[in-house]
Chain A
Amino acid sequence: MTDRGDGAQQLVLTLEEALELVTFLVSSAEICLHEPRFYGTFRLVDGASRLIDRVLQHGENQSTAFLTAFKQEIDANKAAMMSDRDTYYAFLRALPAPAAAELKRLRAGSILEVPS
């Protein structure tokens, strides 16, 4: 990754927070060995929510508005895994596009940004 010196390159996690998420991810991988297959999808989106939570604790960044809304979307719908599988699957299928669009927007803004 190139260092463009813009806001998109802002560091948003401490080492401890990164290790916390690493522990969460590998623990999720381990329990996926014996839990129902679709639980793995829940662990991934819940992990995304936990990651966003930590990022937002570091204050404003260029994606704060998006991340706040995206986390709310995840947290409001992830529990459907327990009660309404069709709704849950539709929620999962709808998640990647806005995340991809935000990454694209961030990248485009970085490239267009003129260093002062």
Chain B
Amino acid sequence: MTGSTPSSAIDGPSLLAFMKSRRVTRDFTDAPIPDEILAAIAAAGRWATSGGNGYPNQFLIVRDLERIELVRAASPGMIPVPPALILIGIDTEKAERFSMHVEPETMHWVDVGTAAMNMMNVAHAYGIGSCPVTSFSKGGVATMLDLPPTIDPVFILILGYPAPSIRVRNPNAPRPLTARDITSWERIGNHEPA
């Protein structure tokens, strides 16, 4: 492993506990997010893995509330009006130059996902709540944000400081998924290492 940060800077159990403490946030305060924090969140996306080191992602940070409201009109999955959002799009020209097959549900979606997850964790570290939005009209959002035709909008991360809320546990909610539920050892279905 290379890099300027020693691997011991954050111990594994603490990092895992931190990641487990992140929740999707759908209620934000109106407080603006400082530009340097938004830049840091975008940088976290940059340092995500990318298939073939191709990095076809483009990140568009939007802070203008009028534009955010326009995006929301074409984004039924965006429930609140957040103080900021980051749109992750695929630069289709770059992807084509890299000979990626840019089709739905292929490798570029993985790149978007890894970038988005990095962003959500770093946002959490700055005390910023986030919520992924994928339920939107691509054509509608591209129009609202004046995207060039070479940028395919795939993912919107809405961001803001979490509003105070009381989390009420639904007694009818299904049991929370555990890591064990979806982890097998050597063969699918063996949920213990032994």
Contact = CB atoms under 8 A, between A and B. Distances in A.
Contacts of A24: 73-74, 76
Interface in A64-87: 79-80, 83-84, 86-87
B172 A86 contact: yes
A23 B79 contact: no
Chain A interface residue number, banded: 20 to 34
Interface stretch (B54-62, B133-141, B151-159): B133-141
Given A43-B76, A46-B76, A31 B137 contact: yes
Interface of A is mostly: helix
B172 A27 contact: no
Contacts of A79: 26
Nearest to B173: A83
Contact of A23 (B73, B77, B174): B73
Given A27-B136, A27-B140, A31-B137, A83 B73 contact: no
A6 interface: no
Contact of B135 (A21, A39, A87): A39
Interface of B is mostly: loop
Given A27-B140, A83-B173, A87-B172, A35 B73 contact: no
Nearest to B144: A23
Contacts of B74: 23-24, 27
Interface in B8-42: 26
A83 B139 CA distance: 30
Given A80-B170, A84-B173, A46 B137 contact: no
Nearest to A82: B173
A100 to B, nearest CB: 25
B173 A27 contact: no
Given A27-B137, A30-B137, A31-B135, A20 B172 contact: no
A28 interface: yes
Given A20-B69, A31-B77, 6 more contacts: A24-B74, A27-B136, A28-B76, A39-B135, A47-B76, A83-B174
Interface of B: 26, 69, 73-77, 79, 135-137, 139-140, 170, 172-174
